[in-house]
Amino acid sequence: MFITGQNDICKSVEKMIALVVASIYEGYEDNEADYADLEWKNGKGQHAWACIFKQTSVSMQKYKEYSIFSMKAGQWPYIMVFDSSSNTALMVLKRLNFNNRRTQLYAGKMHYIFSGIPANSDLDQESPMYQQTSFLQPDPSLNTLIQDEFIKLQNRTGTTIRRFLVLTFDADSVRIIKSCEIQLMNSHGDLIKTYNIDHLIPVRWTEEPSSISITTLRPDDGKTNTKSQIDDKTVVKPKKQFIRKDGTE
């Protein structure tokens, strides 16, 4: 799917991705609970990322083939997840931010999310999803900067990075993940393929059917004989285990 090679290697990458998606979901849940109890609040979004990083670290601990590396871009912390069985590296970013950063890349502005793209040089001959016009070609000096950052990434892993992926996601105003994608770029930052992975998003199912009717009727204020219709939301009782949209745990 994302890499070429043996089937078990591909499955290892996909399992790593599934763990990260679940960590984002659980990280947002933890953030809702933790942030409400904080005496001093310094940005709910920033705290959410801390919860996501923590949950990802916990999820990876029991798999010897996966590693998580804490990184920093200036004062901003981020993580890189690495699968040693396929030499695949993965970073996470919100989709809107990713799209904005790609636009800025062609204006000569570097972002850490592109530090791993030299690993995908084998895709440079593939046709990109969106053709760039000549005035949007990256500044040549940017290639040197990206290559330098890539060397730093490989030094952290202690081995060769053969594939680099970016996991992007959207979340709504109540911090529920709406969609996830894997972005596969070539070494110039051109998008070669986008994979929808919504089926990996965990879903909380109710433990028992709700006793509340989805649609009920209530009388108006008594001035008329008509009744108005209202929709009540069912009460969701979370289970301990997660079930994905494809029905698997």
pTM for this entry: 0.75
* pLDDT over 60 at 209, yes or no: no
- How many residues in total does the chain contain? 249
Please give the residue that has the higher pLDDT: either 136 or 13.
13
Lookup: tokens for 30: 């933890």
How far from 57 is each of 51, 183, 200, CA to CA, in Å?
Answer: 10, 22, 18
| Surface-to-core class of residue 135, CB atoms within 10 Å of its CB (0-12 exposed, 13-18 middle, 19+ buried) | exposed
**Residue 234 neighbours by CB under 8 Å, 6+ apart:** 206, 210, 212, 214
**Residue 37 neighbours by CB under 8 Å, 6+ apart:** none
Element holding 14 (H helix, E strand): helix 7-37
* pLDDT score of 113: 96
Give the CA angle between residues 49, 55, 58 to the nearest 5°. Answer: 145
- Cα 30 from Cα 51, distance rounded (Å): 7
- Indicate the pairing of strand 177-185 with strand 66-73: unpaired
pLDDT range class, residue 202, cuts 50, 70, 90: confident
Lookup: tokens for 157: 């892993």
Lookup: tokens for 91: 């970073």
pLDDT range class, residue 26, cuts 50, 70, 90: confident
Cβ pair 84, 159 in contact under 8 A: yes
How far from 72 is each of 30, 78, 88, 111, 130, CA to CA, in Å?
Answer: 23, 6, 20, 11, 30
Mean pLDDT of 56-67: 93
Mean pLDDT of 225-235: 40
How far from 170 is each of 30, 70, 180, 196, 225, CA to CA, in Å?
Answer: 17, 23, 7, 12, 45
* pLDDT score of 42: 47
**Looking at 114-128, 155-169, 235-249, which range is the least confident one?**
235-249
So where are the chain's domains? 7-203
Extract the runs of DSSP E, i.e. beta strands, from 26-176.
Answer: 66-73, 76-83, 88-94, 163-171
**Looking at 112-121, 143-152, 193-202, 240-249, which range is the least confident one?**
240-249
